[in-house]
A and B are shown apart, each in its own frame.
Chain A
């Protein structure tokens, strides 16, 4: 995004899986959403949570601009209760982030900073990506899967 425009959504895509979803801001932490959009494009390894339930997990997000907030000062959601499709930051500070995207049931009753959500129409695609990623993760062969976050022009 450029020219001071406010983004209504960005795209999360998995080139190796040939899938993508749109991600919109939510009712809280809009400033985090806007900051994230300013950092696009971002590319990371697409992992999966192995304790908390069904969540896509990226642990090597690199940012151009500092994440200047303290996580304790931002609104949070309980991972086990929040809607599927919601994005949560974990151990995010400075120029590095960890991101969980809930795509199915999660058991971890702890709260994390949430700031975006996959649009309703794309949640079926998100679940397909989640199932595929988990099957790769728990499988013997490990073909690499990346996730890319791009602006609407990307």
Chain B
């Protein structure tokens, strides 16, 4: 697959995800479905903590790579190096633990960029990947069950004093 073909595939997904939630987010976050076995002993919290934060890392890495790319001082080879260095670790991990499509696109970009010489083309391709990862991240943030946090409000000084008294009395 050439880079234009890959970019067209990512862009098609980007258009769809403006209106539709990514299936992998619906599975892992909304319905707690894992096909890979990720989540020791069948619990989802480990995947939510590590995988979902890794998706956000990937978004942040792309932000940094593209920000560097907006500065003409950075060459195409340097942008390729940053992408090849920063993206595969977390990319492969999220691919295993619930987000194989994101990893396929990351891997695809890394595979084709070696042949790309035009810096502007490279930035266009990276921007498509940045938007795709951002769609995934935005939907993760949306569907995460923040209602759980209602059970964990901040401690108050009054509560701590009461606890200290209970401990002292026991």
Contact = CB atoms under 8 A, between A and B. Distances in A.
Contact of A59 (B70, B134, B145): B134
A96 interface: yes
A45 B127 contact: no
A70 B142 CA distance: 28
A43 to B, nearest CB: 5
A139 B142 contact: no
Contacts of B71: 70
A94 B18 contact: no
Interface residues of B, number: 32
A67 to B, nearest CB: 8
A45 B134 CA distance: 11
A59 B141 contact: yes
B70 A45 contact: no
A144 B21 contact: yes
Majority SS at the chain B contact face: helix
A68 B71 CA distance: 9
B71 to A, nearest CB: 7
A94 B146 contact: no
B150 interface: yes
A102 B59 CA distance: 23
Contact of B63 (A57, A68, A93, A140): A93
B126 interface: yes
B60 A91 contact: yes
30 contacts: A45-B142, A47-B138, A47-B141, A50-B146, A57-B141, A59-B59, A59-B137, A60-B17, A60-B134, A60-B137, A62-B14, A62-B18, A66-B70, A66-B127, A70-B67, A71-B67, A93-B70, A94-B66, A94-B69, A94-B126, A95-B130, A96-B63, A98-B134, A138-B146, A138-B150, A139-B147, A140-B147, A142-B142, A142-B143, A146-B19
Given A47-B141, A94-B66, 13 more contacts: A50-B149, A59-B137, A60-B138, A68-B70, A93-B67, A94-B67, A94-B123, A96-B127, A98-B134, A137-B142, A138-B147, A140-B145, A142-B142
Interface of B: 14, 17-19, 21, 30, 59-60, 63, 66-67, 69-71, 123, 126-127, 130-131, 134-135, 137-139, 141-143, 145-147, 149-150
Question: Which 9 interchain pairs have the tightest Cβ spacing?
Answer: A60-B138, A59-B138, A94-B66, A95-B127, A94-B127, A60-B134, A93-B67, A91-B63, A96-B130
Interface of A: 43-45, 47, 50, 57-60, 62, 66-68, 70-71, 91, 93-96, 98, 137-140, 142, 144, 146
